[in-house]
Structure 1
C-alpha cells in the first residue's frame, strides 16, 4: 500500500495549525516570570480551564486505550472513563479548593513546606515516572494510528508529534498548552462523532455477533485485578501535577471546583464514541474488508483497533478526519505531561534543592531544557511500547500505591511528618516491587493469596499496598513525634523537624523565603513598569504558615 498523500498533507496542515496557535498563545507569556509560565499568572478563565482540564485526560491513550479494552475484554473492563470521571469530581471538590487557596505552584509544594525540601524531592520521583509513562502511552497511540492510516513508519509520527508539542510548550508554557487544548478538544469531538456512524454502518459489521461478548465478564480469579485497576485509576488519578497545574492556574478556588466538576462529565462523554468504535471493531467480520492481517485480530494487535476501524470501516476522508482527532488527542495530553515534568523539576528539584537564589531568567532556561529532556525520554519509551492501555494503567499504578496516601496525609493530617512519609514511601515501593509487573518484565518475588503461574497475582495487592502505606505513614509519624516530645530520643536527632520547635523554625524560614520571592517579583515588575504584585499572592490557607506562625506567639 502506497503512502496516503492526502492524509499526510492533512496531518502536516494540522501540525502547522497547532504550532501556530501555540506560538500565538505564547505572546501572552512573553516577558513574564517563570511563575506566570507555570500557572498562567493564576488568571485562567473558566471556559479555558474546563477545556484544558478535560484535555489532560482525553488524550490518545484514553481514546485508543478505551477502544482497545472495549474490543478485547468488553465494557466491564473499560474502567478508565468511569474511574477518571469520579477522580476528577473528588479532586475538584476535596483537594483542589485547598490547594488553590494555599497558593501553591506545584503539587509538591505542600510536601516541601511541611516535610522539608529533601523529603519533598523524594516524592517527585513517582510523578516523573508516571508522566514519562503517560507521555509514552500517548505518543504510542498516535504512532499506531498514523502507521495504519497513512502507511508510514510509526516512529516518524511519534518523533514529529513530540517535536511539535515540545516546540510550543517551550515558547509559551501553560498558556500555549491551554489554548491549543481548546482547539484540540474541538477537533477530537468532531473527528470521533463524524467517524462513528460510518463505521457502525459498514456492511461487515454485525452487532448480533457481539450481543454477549461486548459486555465482558469478570471471573472470580480476576476479581482482585479488577478491584486494583479501579482503585489505581480512581484514586491514583487524583495526585497528578498535570491536573493540579490547571487547578492552581484558576483565578480562585470556586472556578477550580467548577472546572473540575464540568471536566469530569466531559471526560466521561468523550469516552462514549471510543467505546462505540471498540464495539464496532469487535463486531466486524474483517474477512469482508481489505484488511490483510491475522484474523481474528490477536491480543497483541488490539491496541491498533481504533486505527483499523478508521482505515477499513470508514471512507478515506472520514478516516483522515478521525486521524486528526487522534492526533489532537495526543497533542492535548503530551504537551501537558511534558510541561508537568518540567515544572516539578525546575521548581521542586532544581530551585529548592540546588539553587534557592536562582534568578527568574535562570529558572526559565531550566524549564525549557527540562521540557526537551521530558519529550525525548517519553519518545524513547513510546518507540518500544507494546500496549497502550498497559502503559496507561501502569502510570496510575505509581500514583496509587505511592503518591496518593502521601499526598492525602500531608494535605489533611496534621500529625504527618518526614519519618512517617519516608517509611511509608519505602514500604510501598518495596512491597510493589515484590509483587512483580509483567509489563516491564519484573519477576514476582512475593506471591499473594490466589497467585497462579498462569494468571499471576489474583489478589488486590496494589490496594493492600496503598492501605498499608497509609497505616505506615500515620503510625510512624505518631511514634516518632511521641519519642521526641517525651525526650526518649534527643531532639538533636530530629533531622526532619517533627517536634514543634524544629517544625516551627522551618516554617518561619519558609515564610521568609515566600516574602523574599514576593519582594523580588515586585522589583522585577517595577523595573518593567508593570502592575505590581500585591500581597494577596501570599498563600492564605497554608496550613503550616497559618496555624504555626500566625496563631502562635
Structure 2
C-alpha cells in the first residue's frame, strides 16, 4: 500500500495552520505580559485571568474531547465484550464538568490560585503537596501518551505512515507552540481544533452509514449478526467494575490541572461556572459521533470490505476501529477529513496536559520548594523545561502503548484514587489538617496498589468478594477503587480530629506538632482575613464559636 499523498498534504497543511495560530497567540501572550501587574509566569499559566467566555468554552471542551475520548469511545462501543453501556466517556465527562462548575470553581477562583496544588501548599505545606504534584504529573503523562498513541494509530491506518514518525512529529508540533505562548497558544489553537473535530466527525458519519457493508445499526443494537449486539447490558457480575469506571471518569475529571488552568484564567467565578456547564453539553454532543462509529463498526460485514477476514476485533485492532472504519468504509477524501478530526483532538489535549504538568512543576515544586526566590523569568524557563521533559516522556510511552482506552482510564484513575478525597477535604472540610491528609494519602495508595492493576501487571494482594481467577490471576469485580476513595475520606477527617484532640489535650508533646495544629485556633481568630481585610465582630464571633465546638466535640 502506497503512502496517501493527498492525505499527507492535508495533515501537513493542518499542522502549519496550527503552528501559525500558536505563533500569533505567543505574540499576544508577550503583550499581556507587559500589561500584567503580576509575574510573567502568571500569564503563561493562567493568561492574565482575562480569558474570553466563548474561548474558554471552546478550549475546555477541546481539552476534554481528546484522541483518547474519540478513539476510546468508539473502541468500547465496538468491542463485543463491552458495548454502549461501557462507553462512559461522554456521560462521565459531561457530568464531571457540571459537577466542577457547581462545587469546585468558586472556592478555587475566589482565592485566585495559580494551580490546583496551591490550596494544599497553603494548608498542608510542601511534603504532601509534592506527592500530589508527582501523582498529577504522572496522570498527565499517561494522558499525553494515550492521545499521541491515538493519533499514531490513525495516521498509520489511513496514510500508511509509521505511527512512530507521526507520534514524533505531532508531539514536536504541540511542544513547540506550547513553549512559545503558554496558555494563550494553547487556548487559541484549541478553538480552531474544536471546529475541526466537530465538523470532521459529523461529515464522516453519514458516509459510514451508507456503506453497502453496513447493516442498520438499529437492527444490530438488539440482534446478533456479525458479533454481539452493540447495546449490551451490564450484568451483576461486572456491575462493580462499571461503577468504578463511572466514578473514575466523573469524579476524576475534577482533579486535573488542565481543568483548573482554564477555570482560574476566567475573569470571574460566574464566567467560570457558565464555561463549565456549556462545555459539559458540548462534550456530550461531540461524543455522539464516536458512539455511532463504534456502532457502525459492530454492524459491518468486514468480509465485504477491503479489510477482509478476520474482523478487526479478532485481529487485535479494536483500538484502531475508528481509523479502520474511515479507511475501509468511506471514500478516501472523507477518510482524510477524519484524520483532521483525530489530529485536532490530539493536539488540543496534548498541549493542555503538557502545560498543566509543567505549570505544577515550575510553580509548586521549583518556585515554592527548590528556589523560593526565583524570578518570574526563571519560573518561565522552568515551565519550558517541564514542557520539553514531560513531552518527551509521554511520547516514549505513546510509542509503547497497546490500548488507547486503558491508558485513558489509567490517567483518570490515578487522580481519582489519590487526589479526589484530598481535594474535597482541603476545599470543603475546614477541620482537616496535614496529619489527616498524609494518613489518607498513604491509606489510599496502599489499598489501591494492594487491589492490583492488570494494565501495569501488578497482581492483587487483597481479593475483594465477587472476583474470579482468569489464567491464574485474580480479577477484581468489587468496586474497590471507589471504596478506597471513601475510606481515604474517612481517614483524613478522623485522623485530623484525632491529632487535634491529642495535641490540644497535651497527650502529645507540642514539639512534635510539625503542622502547628495547636496554633490553629489562634490563627483562625486573627483580626484579618487571608486578603488582609478587617473582619467584623460578628465574623470573629462565628469563628470563635466554631473553634470552641471543634475543641469540645471530643469531650
Shared fold (TM-score greater than 0.5)? yes
Q: 1:515 maps to which residue?
A: none
Q: Report the Cα offset of residue 186 of structure 1.
A: 0.2
Q: Does the 8 A contact of 1:103 with 1:539 survive in 2?
A: no
SS at 1:453 equivalent: strand
Q: Quick one: distance in 2 between partners of 1:132 and 1:539? A: 38
Q: 1:36 maps to which residue?
A: 43
Q: Residue 329 of structure 2: which of 290, 313, 316 is its match?
A: 313
Q: 1:5 maps to which residue?
A: 5
Q: 1:470 maps to which residue?
A: 489
Q: Residue 184 of structure 2: which of 171, 175, 178 is its match?
A: 175
Q: Quick one: distance in 2 between partners of 1:547 and 1:180? A: 48
Q: Residue 50 of structure 1: which of 57, 80, 88 is its match?
A: 57
Q: Quick one: distance in 2 between partners of 1:347 and 1:293? A: 53
Q: Residue 450 of structure 1: which of 449, 456, 466 is its match?
A: 466
Q: 1:521 maps to which residue?
A: none
Q: Quick one: distance in 2 between partners of 1:440 and 1:306? A: 25
1:399 equivalenced with 2:408 (yes/no):
no
1:85-96 equivalence runs, <5 A: 85-96=94-105
Q: Deviations over 1:55-95 (max 9, x none)?
A: 11000100000000011121111111111111100101110
1:211 equivalenced with 2:257 (yes/no):
no
SS at 1:236 equivalent: helix
1:254-293 equivalence runs, <5 A: 254-292=270-308
Q: Quick one: distance in 1 between partners of 2:404 and 2:489? A: 30
Q: Report the Cα offset of residue 312 of structure 1.
A: 0.7
Q: Quick one: distance in 2 between partners of 1:501 and 1:477? A: 12
SS at 1:300 equivalent: coil
Q: Does the 8 A contact of 1:450 with 1:458 survive in 2?
A: yes
Q: Quick one: distance in 2 between partners of 1:432 and 1:174? A: 34
Q: Residue 120 of structure 2: which of 100, 111, 120 is its match?
A: 111
Q: Does the 8 A contact of 1:188 with 1:329 survive in 2?
A: yes
Pick closer, same or farther for the CA change 1:135–1:539 going to 2, 3 Å.
farther
Q: Residue 249 of structure 2: which of 233, 238, 256 is its match?
A: 233
Pick closer, same or farther for the CA change 1:541–1:406 going to 2, 3 Å.
farther
Q: 1:480 maps to which residue?
A: 499
Q: Quick one: distance in 2 between partners of 1:509 and 1:14? A: 54
Which range moved further: 449-458 or 184-193? Answer: 449-458
Q: Quick one: distance in 1 between partners of 2:58 and 2:244? A: 29
Q: Does the 8 A contact of 2:109 with 2:268 survive in 1?
A: yes
Q: 1:435 maps to which residue?
A: 451
Q: 1:190 maps to which residue?
A: 199
Q: Provide the TM-score with structure 1 as the length reference.
A: 0.91
Q: 1:304 maps to which residue?
A: 320
Count of aligned pairs between the two proteins: 521
Q: Deviations over 1:458-480 (max 9, x none)?
A: 10000110100001100000000
Q: Deviations over 1:259-310 (max 9, x none)?
A: 0000000000000011001101111111111114632532731111000111
Q: 1:17 maps to which residue?
A: 17
Q: Provide the TM-score with structure 2 as the length reference.
A: 0.90
Q: Does the 8 A contact of 1:103 with 1:540 survive in 2?
A: no
Q: Report the Cα offset of residue 443 of structure 1.
A: 1.1
1:370 equivalenced with 2:381 (yes/no):
no
Q: Quick one: distance in 2 between partners of 1:103 and 1:240? A: 17
1:393-542 equivalence runs, <5 A: 393-454=409-470, 456-501=475-520, 504=523
SS at 2:419 equivalent: helix
Pick closer, same or farther for the CA change 1:299–1:265 going to 2, 3 Å.
farther
Q: CA RMSD in A?
A: 2.3
Q: Quick one: distance in 2 between partners of 1:508 and 1:336? A: 41
Pick closer, same or farther for the CA change 1:100–1:386 going to 2, 3 Å.
same
Q: Does the 8 A contact of 2:528 with 2:534 survive in 1?
A: no
Pick closer, same or farther for the CA change 1:547–1:460 going to 2, 3 Å.
farther
Pick closer, same or farther for the CA change 1:179–1:335 going to 2, 3 Å.
same
Q: Does the 8 A contact of 1:433 with 1:442 survive in 2?
A: yes
Q: Quick one: distance in 2 between partners of 1:310 and 1:541? A: 63
Q: Quick one: distance in 1 between partners of 2:184 and 2:357? A: 16
Q: Quick one: distance in 1 between partners of 2:532 and 2:167? A: 41
Pick closer, same or farther for the CA change 1:485–1:21 going to 2, 3 Å.
same
1:69 equivalenced with 2:39 (yes/no):
no
Q: Deviations over 1:479-525 (max 9, x none)?
A: 001111111112211112222359839x99997xxxxxxxxxxxxxx
Pick closer, same or farther for the CA change 1:164–1:503 going to 2, 3 Å.
farther
Unaligned runs of 5+ in 1: 512-537
SS at 2:254 equivalent: coil
1:123 equivalenced with 2:123 (yes/no):
no
Unaligned runs of 5+ in 2: 34-39, 224-228, 546-555
Q: Does the 8 A contact of 1:185 with 1:328 survive in 2?
A: yes
Pick closer, same or farther for the CA change 1:293–1:110 going to 2, 3 Å.
farther
1:60 equivalenced with 2:74 (yes/no):
no
Q: Report the Cα offset of residue 452 of structure 1.
A: 1.1
Q: Report the Cα offset of residue 551 of structure 1.
A: 9.4
Q: Deviations over 1:297-353 (max 9, x none)?
A: 327311110001111111111110111110000000010000000000000011110
Pick closer, same or farther for the CA change 1:82–1:547 going to 2, 3 Å.
farther
Q: 2:148 maps to which residue?
A: 139
Q: Quick one: distance in 2 between partners of 1:138 and 1:510? A: 44
